[in-house]
Amino acid sequence: MSDAVVVARDRRLPPAVSILLPYLLAIGVALAVVGVLLALLGYNVLQAYQTILFTSFRTPNGFAQTLNKWVPLSLQALAFTIPLAAGKFNIGGEGQLIVGAIGAAAAGIIFAGLPVYVLLPLVLIAGMLCGAIWVLLPAWLLYRFRINEILTTVLLNFVAFELIDFVATKFWPDPTAGHPTSIPIGAGGELPMLMTRPPLHSGLLLALVICALAYFYVDRTSAGYELIAAGANPRAARVFGINTRWLFFWSLLLGGMLAGLSGAVEVAGNQHRLIVGLQSNFLLLGIIIGLISKGNHLAVPFVALFIAVLEVGASAMQRTMMIPGEMVLIVEALILLFVLLSDVVRRRRTA
């Protein structure tokens, strides 16, 4: 082995550093760019970033808000990354969340008198099943006619917007709410609280288990290997006997179930009823998390936590400094852009 090769290997960064470095550089550059913009607009940049980055850790209430927001973000990210492992793009997580919330609320209202050990699983399962049913049409169209799933999943989001408004105002409306809202679900359908002051529901534990199972399934099982192989090279996968069409169908179905579960958790953990707009911007953030994570299911919960910190900090910044919360979306978009650019630079250096 030549001395030059040995020296080159000695200069290589440790694996952990080489993985984290692009993310850290992307975060730093994104914050610098937005900092210049805030300064030009006349805001105190240091105070703004202190508010964004540390609100989640200054008080128990901020920390609880961050964890409650982390739950649907993680589930929405997984609803995107699992189909992504098979080379498919589930852009319908918003609609699947909404329909999952409708199913969970319907179960919680219709069977409100059932005890918690029956009603709570029923609410969560109803949400998962409704999310899976909502993605069933795009998955079947892909399986049967090879119609692009991006178009079909996006279009169904708009149908879901109208559906939740119809259900909340026509089936179980709450006339005292002043907003399209249903009556509450039964008390047995509510997730137990880990803390009451500030409120933190046990959906956190459920999401942690789901994240672990998703990582194990995709990255540590033969079924997950087939899923990745089908996404990486469908033609080669078919040569080796992998049923790629079924895996594409199955990956979208799993994504729909997880997105539906995120809606069920919102109903059972946070809202305790069906509210128009409960989906917030979880779809957009879930896709951003999935893309920043580069489909790495081990990274998804950590990236989701970082995004949840930014979101909670943005709300505090908007309240206290009157800075538009959209600034955080700019930060998130720039982080994603610079992470993707780091891949381009790495490929060119190794070419």
Q: Rounded to an integer, what distance in angstroms lies between the CA atom of residue 23 and that of residue 255? A: 26
pLDDT tens, position by position, 197-255: 899 999 999 999 999 999 999 999 999 999 999 999 999 999 999 999 999 999 999 99
Tokens in use for 190? 């509510």
CB hemisphere CA count around 50 (13 angstroms): 8
The confidence score (pLDDT) of residue 80 equals 97
Q: Which two tokens stand for residue 283?
A: 């779809």
Q: What is the mean pLDDT of the chain?
A: 89
pLDDT of residue 351: 62
Q: In whole angstroms, what is the distance from residue 149 CA to residue 140 CA?
A: 10
68 pLDDT more than 80? yes
Q: Which is more confidently placed, 77 or 177?
A: 77
Q: How confident is the model at residue 12 (pLDDT cuts 50, 70, 90)?
A: low
Q: Which of 1-15, 168-182, 323-337 has the lowest mean pLDDT?
A: 1-15
Residues 105-122, mean pLDDT to the nearest whole number: 95
Query: What's the pLDDT score for residue 324?
Result: 82
pLDDT of residue 13: 61
Spatial separation of the C-alpha atoms in residues 79 and 350, rounded to whole Å: 32
Count CB neighbours of 118 within 10 A.
13
pLDDT in tens, 267-286: 999 999 999 999 888 988 99
**Which one, of 273, 99, 114, 261, lies nearest residue 185 by Cα?**
273
pLDDT digits (tens, 9 = 90+) for 118-137: 999 999 999 999 999 999 99
Contacts of residue 89, Cβ cutoff 8 Å, sequence gap at least 6: 80, 83, 149, 150, 153
| This model's pTM is above 0.75 | yes
Higher pLDDT, 140 or 178: 140
Per the DSSP assignment, residues forming a β-bridge with 181 are: 275
Q: Averaged over 149-166, what is the pLDDT?
A: 95
Tell me which of 1.10.3470.10, 3.30.2090.10, 1.20.58.340, 1.10.8.60 is the CATH number of domain 63-322.
1.10.3470.10
**pLDDT surpasses 70 at 9:** no
